């Protein structure tokens, strides 16, 4: 090992020690988490009876959790139980023992709430002995928990904590649709495969899309940026939620971290909110126009809502770009009671006339083009052209027409265009300063 490599490793070791000091639960917190978890298991055993088996899963059960963890409890029901009965019992008992409850959805409903200041998920699943018997995706989770408990060495628990804190810092932790990043289970598998946090980072800096890690031999081909075969179910890619953007962000961050391994990657500064005046000056300087659209947020679980919002925005951008409007940037923001879409456009209006290309005169359909457009047709070089009037010249009118034609998602279709409201620049500067600040912030988390 060269002196520079030795120095680099010392820098990383120093950073790791500081991070663990800040994110690793101390003895008192561990005792408290264990006490709360055991209390909940006792309560659920009393309320649900012997046939149902509650168990702690996730990072708390594996000892890989960071400070202030969520506690995940899965309740295993006999295979003879109907889904309806299983879901109904969990939702009922969850509302009885948790506070501020909310119904969420994985492959079927589960309950979320608080117990003694801890966030709790109580999820129903089937009690199966073989993965081949599973009836829903959540039935795998107890097997995942057992696999990590059996295979993760004690010293690797700290490594998993470091990795989770790192991904959280760069905004790539979590498999939910809001993030499309790395799940806790995926983090633990990568630590198992490479041995430590440092080795994951050193390997990942050279990853390319399609990177495949076969902890066991896979039985299927996957077309994902990252493929990690699930050792519990060899037909599944644990990394399938990881989007190309988050995969690329992670690889880039690894390159940067190894150059300068600071705690900024784990604990980035928040985006500094800009004032109305600063945002107005920024927009004026860029010489562009903003188009803001807001609709009421439908009553639907977030893991179903986010993919629809993402797909909706992609479809609108695709179609509006084909109408000759040049979109520089776009983003969406899901708020408590509304969804906000923001488009930055070079020009919100187009000329009344557009130049429409026809065929070269050497092909057979020139007569059809001339018959269709008559005396307006002209020749440039060897190709026919015509100047046509646009149906719409304003981006807002064009968007409304597009909304009427597109399928924007089952829960969003009722919102567009009937409940869609365009926001003027002044309204956005007044009411959406935080969203606009984030919209224009292009810095990486560790650079803030």
What pLDDT band is residue 156 in, cutting at 50, 70 and 90?
very high
Indicate if the pLDDT at residue 269 is higher than 90.
Answer: yes
Q: Which residues pair with 339 in a beta bridge?
A: 295, 334
What pLDDT band is residue 286 in, cutting at 50, 70 and 90?
very high
Q: Model confidence over 220-260: pLDDT tens digits? A: 999 999 999 999 999 999 999 999 999 999 999 999 999 99
* pLDDT at site 103: 87
Mean pLDDT of 188-206: 98
Distance CA 328, CA 348 (A): 12
Q: Model confidence over 160-172: pLDDT tens digits? A: 999 999 999 999 9
Indicate if the pLDDT at residue 104 is higher than 90.
Answer: no
Instruction: Determine the distance from the C-alpha atom of residue 278 to the mean position of all C-alpha atoms in its chain, rounded to a whole number.
Output: 29
What pLDDT band is residue 109 in, cutting at 50, 70 and 90?
confident
Domain ranges of the chain: 27-136, 152-265, 276-349+392-447, 353-389
Alpha helices in 298-394 (DSSP H): 302-322, 366-373
What pLDDT band is residue 219 in, cutting at 50, 70 and 90?
confident
Among 211, 72, 233, smallest CA distance to 147 is for 233
Mean pLDDT of 93-115: 90
Longest CA–CA separation in the chain, Å: 86
The encoded tokens of residue 181 equal 């990043």
Query: What is each CA distance from 69 to 119, 173, 312, 436, in whole angstroms?
Result: 7, 14, 33, 31
Instruction: Find out whether 389 and 261 touch, Cβ atoms under 8 Å.
Output: no
* Average pLDDT of the residues of the chain: 94
- The CATH number assigned to the domain with range 276-349+392-447 reads 3.30.70.590
Task: Name the residue with tokens 């969520």.
Answer: 70
Lowest mean pLDDT among 48-57, 347-356, 370-379, 425-434: 48-57
* pLDDT at site 3: 43
Residue-wise burial string across 414-430, b where 16 or more C-beta atoms lie within 10 A, e elsewhere? ebbbeebeebeeeebbe
Distance CA 164, CA 65 (A): 9
Instruction: Determine the distance from the C-alpha atom of residue 421 to the mean position of all C-alpha atoms in its chain, rounded to a whole number.
Output: 26
Q: Model confidence over 391-445: pLDDT tens digits? A: 899 999 999 999 999 999 999 999 999 999 999 999 999 999 999 999 999 999 9
* pLDDT at site 290: 96
Half-sphere exposure of 325 (CA within 13 A, CB side): 29
The encoded tokens of residue 231 equal 């050792």
Distance CA 212, CA 418 (A): 46
Tell if the pTM clears 0.75, that is, is over it.
yes
Q: Which residues pair with 53 in a beta bridge?
A: 76
CATH architecture of 27-136: 2-Layer Sandwich (3.30)
CATH architecture of 152-265: Orthogonal Bundle (1.10)
What radius of gyration, in Å, describes the C-alpha atoms of the chain? 27
* pLDDT at site 5: 56
CB atoms within 10 A of CB 254: 21
Q: Which strands, in side-by-side order, build the sheet including 53-57? A: 53-57, 71-77, 118-126, 109-115, 99-105
Distance CA 353, CA 387 (A): 6
Q: Model confidence over 353-366: pLDDT tens digits? A: 999 999 999 998 89
* pLDDT at site 364: 86
* pLDDT at site 6: 52
The encoded tokens of residue 72 equal 């995940």
Q: Considering only residues 415 and 106, tell me which one the structure prediction assigns the higher pLDDT.
A: 415
Indicate if the pLDDT at residue 67 is higher than 90.
Answer: yes
Coil, helix or strand at residue 357:
strand
Percent of the chain with pLDDT over 90: 91
């Amino acid at each position: 090992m060269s002196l520079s490599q030795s120095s680099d490793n010392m820098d990383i070791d120093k950073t790791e020690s500081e991070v663990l000091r800040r994110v690793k639960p101390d003895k008192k917190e561990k005792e408290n988490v264990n006490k709360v978890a055991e209390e909940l298991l006792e309560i659920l055993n009393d309320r649900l009876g012997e046939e149902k088996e509650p168990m702690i899963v996730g990072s708390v059960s594996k000892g890989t959790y960071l400070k202030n963890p969520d506690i995940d409890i899965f309740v295993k029901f006999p295979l003879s139980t109907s889904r309806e009965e299983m879901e109904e019992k969990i939702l009922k008992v969850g509302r009885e023992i948790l506070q501020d409850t909310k119904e969420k959805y994985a492959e079927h409903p589960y309950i979320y709430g608080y117990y003694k200041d801890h966030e709790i998920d109580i999820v129903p699943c089937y009690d199966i002995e073989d993965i081949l018997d599973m009836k829903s995706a959540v039935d795998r989770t107890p097997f995942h928990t057992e696999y990590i408990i059996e295979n993760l060495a004690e010293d690797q628990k700290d490594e998993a904590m470091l990795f989770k804190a790192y991904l959280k810092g760069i905004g790539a932790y979590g498999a939910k649709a809001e993030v499309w990043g790395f799940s806790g289970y995926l983090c633990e598998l990568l630590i198992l495969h490479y041995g430590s946090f440092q080795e994951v980072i050193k390997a990942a800096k050279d990853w390319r899309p399609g990177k495949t890690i076969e902890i066991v031999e896979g039985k299927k081909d996957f077309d994902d940026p990252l493929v990690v075969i699930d050792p519990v179910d060899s037909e599944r890619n644990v990394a399938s939620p990881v989007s190309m953007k988050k995969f690329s962000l992670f690889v880039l961050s690894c390159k940067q971290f190894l150059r300068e391994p600071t705690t900024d990657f784990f604990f980035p500064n928040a985006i500094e909110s800009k004032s109305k005046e600063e945002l107005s000056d920024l927009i004026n300087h860029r010489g562009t126009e903003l188009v803001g659209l807001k609709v009421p947020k439908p009553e639907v679980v977030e893991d179903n809502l986010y993919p629809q919002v993402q797909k909706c925005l992609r479809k609108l951008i695709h179609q509006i770009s084909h109408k000759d409007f040049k979109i520089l940037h776009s983003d969406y923001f899901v708020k408590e009671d509304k969804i906000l879409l923001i488009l930055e456009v070079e020009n919100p209006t187009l000329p009344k006339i557009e130049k429409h290309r026809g065929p070269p005169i050497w092909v057979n359909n020139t007569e059809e083009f001339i018959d269709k457009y008559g005396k307006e047709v002209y020749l440039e070089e060897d190709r026919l052209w015509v100047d046509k009037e646009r149906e719409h010249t304003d981006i807002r009118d064009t968007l409304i027409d597009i909304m009427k034609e597109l399928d924007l998602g089952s829960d969003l279709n009722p919102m567009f265009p009937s409940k869609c409201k365009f926001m003027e620049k002044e309204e956005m500067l007044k009411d959406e300063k935080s969203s606009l600040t984030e919209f224009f912030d292009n810095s990486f988390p560790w650079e803030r």
